[in-house]
Structure formats: C-alpha cells, structure tokens
Amino acid sequence: KADITEVLEKKLKPRAIVFKNDGKMRESEGLESYVEHALGDITEAELRENGVRFVAPVVEGQKTGYFYDHRLGRAALAHYVKGKTVLDLFSYIGGWGVQAAMFGAKEVTCVDASTLALDYVHKNAELNGVGDIVSSIEGDVFEICKALKEEGERFDVVIVDPPAFIPRRKDQKAGEVAYQRLNQMAMRLLSKDGVLVSGSCSMHLAEPTLLDIVRKTARTLEKELQLIERFPQGPDHPIVPAIAETNYLKAMFFRVLPQS
C-alpha cells in the first residue's frame, strides 16, 4: 500500500487517495473491511462522462463512487431519448438518467432505494442545468414498477441497470429469475414502440443468456423485439481472456413492438 501510494503521488500528484476496501466479497475471502484515507481528506469527487458533469460520493457511495464502465452505452442514449420520457431503474447517482436529460429527454424519472443516491441524482441534475427535467422515486424498484403499472404510467425509454443479481455461481437460478422479472416489469411500462435498455454487471450472466431472458420475456408479453445495439464495458476496463471475471458488463438496446 505504501508503494502504491508513493507511485500515485509521484505520477499523478492527486489531492487525495482513498483505499476503499469495504466490498461485500471481502468477508467471504476472510479480508478486513475498511475505508482508509492514505492522502488528503475527501468525501466526493467531480468528474465528467460523455461531456456531462457529475459529483460522486467517494466514501459513502458504492465502490469507487461512480461506474465509468457503462459510458459507451450511455453515450448511445443520445440517439434514442430526445423529446422522450425516460425511466431509469436502479439509477444510483444518475449516470444514465442525468445523461438522458442532457441528451434532450423531455422527462426523466430515476428510481433507487438509496436516499444518498437520489440526493446525488438531484445534485448532478442541478449541476448540469436539468433539475427541472429530472425527478426521483425512492423505494424498492420492483414495488415501484408495480405501482407505476397500476397507475397506468408509460415511458418511451426504460433503462434497467441493476446491481449484480448473481454475485456467486450458487445464485444463478434465483438471479436469472430476478433479471426476467425486472425486464418483464420494464416492458410493461413501455409505450408503444418503446426502447428498452437492459444491462447487467453479473459476470455469471453471459450476454447470450441475458438476451434469451429478454427474448422469452417479450414472447410471454406477446411483444416483438429488435436488438438495435449492444455495448460491453469501456476499453479502460480491459477483458483479460485468461481471467473470466474481467468479462462482466453488457448493455443491450431493444426496440419493443406489438406482435404483428
């Protein structure tokens, strides 16, 4: 750790360095869980993604505070959201939702269970001058989707980017059921000819399996699918063929149509 800190200070001259070693998997590996400031004292960091400004909670937020790995897919939102209503499920601090607003969406609704995350959604929306476009709903995403359906709400674009539902191999069956349920709820909330963005960060869920889950879900709902685009993680999250865990991220853009 001392060597890493020394190299970072020499090469990057950072204002702060934080060792964020409090992930869920550390307990299963028998490792201590802790957050340590190796340099400076920082609670949040400013950043840009696809030209959009964000403030991320480095200490209290999830992992490093922000997820750059989906930025290729987020950049593609610009082709689909202009003048549209957008629902961002598991929004975290607004990586998808705030960018959708910046790309011309008419209305964006972010849904997350975390008060902290949604506070940052609004902070980031205001930071980019789209505070009047972005709203939020706090609570269980599945329950909120059910309530929105019962209220007759519909959205032109629904983004599904949940946390890993399959953290371990033993969670495979239950996780696949959760992905199926979530994508089905998302499809039920789509307007006619709407766009579904379905993502997953579960290494144990291969892209063909997610595609099959979405396909079967559409068939159950008597919908037809067009797979428009697909995106892996960004190149700064390289895939090492010898390490399966490095190939984990996927995002697919679907057009959802009534059966002809």
Cα(21)–Cα(140) distance, integer angstroms: 27
Q: Is the pLDDT of residue 19 over 90?
A: yes
Interatomic CA distance for residues 152 and 245, integer angstroms: 40
Q: What 8-state DSSP symbol labels residue 160?
A: E
| Percent of residues, the chain, with pLDDT higher than 90 | 91
In this predicted model, what pLDDT tens digit does every residue of 28-77 receive, in sequence order?
A: 889 999 999 999 999 999 999 999 999 999 999 998 899 999 999 999 99
The two structure tokens encoding residue 227: 């797979």
**pLDDT for the residue numbered 27:** 84
Mean pLDDT of 116-142: 98
pLDDT confidence of residue 122: 98
On whether the CB atoms of residues 57 and 44 are closer than 8 A, the answer is yes
Architecture, CATH, for domain 65-258: 3-Layer(aba) Sandwich (3.40)
**Confidence tier at 145 by pLDDT (50, 70, 90):** very high
Q: What is the pLDDT of residue 253?
A: 98
What residue ranges do the domains of the chain occupy? 65-258
Name the average pLDDT for the chain.
95
Distances 220 to 155, 214, 228, 256 between C-alpha atoms, Å: 20, 10, 20, 13
Say whether pLDDT at 260 is over 90. Answer: no
Cα-Cα-Cα-Cα torsion 206, 210, 215, 219, nearest 10 degrees, comes to 130
Q: 62-65 long-range CB contacts below 8 Å, 24 or more apart?
A: 62/92, 63/20, 63/23, 64/20
Verdict on whether the full-model pTM lies above 0.75: yes
Catalytic residues: 201
Query: What pLDDT is stored for residue 81 in this prediction?
Result: 98
Let me know the angle formed at the C-alpha of 197 by 115 and 213, rounded to the nearest 5 degrees.
Answer: 105
Per-residue confidence (pLDDT) for residue 3, from 0 to 100: 97
State yes or no: pLDDT of 165 exceeds 80: yes
Q: What confidence score (pLDDT) does residue 24 get?
A: 80
Residue 25 has pLDDT above 90, yes or no: no
Q: Looking at residue 167, what is its pLDDT? A: 85
**214-224: pLDDT as tens digits:** 999 999 999 99
d(CA 137, CA 162): 16
Please check the confidence at residue 169 and state whether its pLDDT lies above 90: no
CA separation for the pair 59, 63 (Å, rounded): 8
Say how far residue 119 (Cα) sits from the centre of its chain.
16
**Token pair listed for 110:** 């972010």
**Whether the Cβ atoms of residue 253 and residue 230 lie closer than 8 Å to each other:** yes
Dist. CA 233–CA 247, nearest whole Å:
8
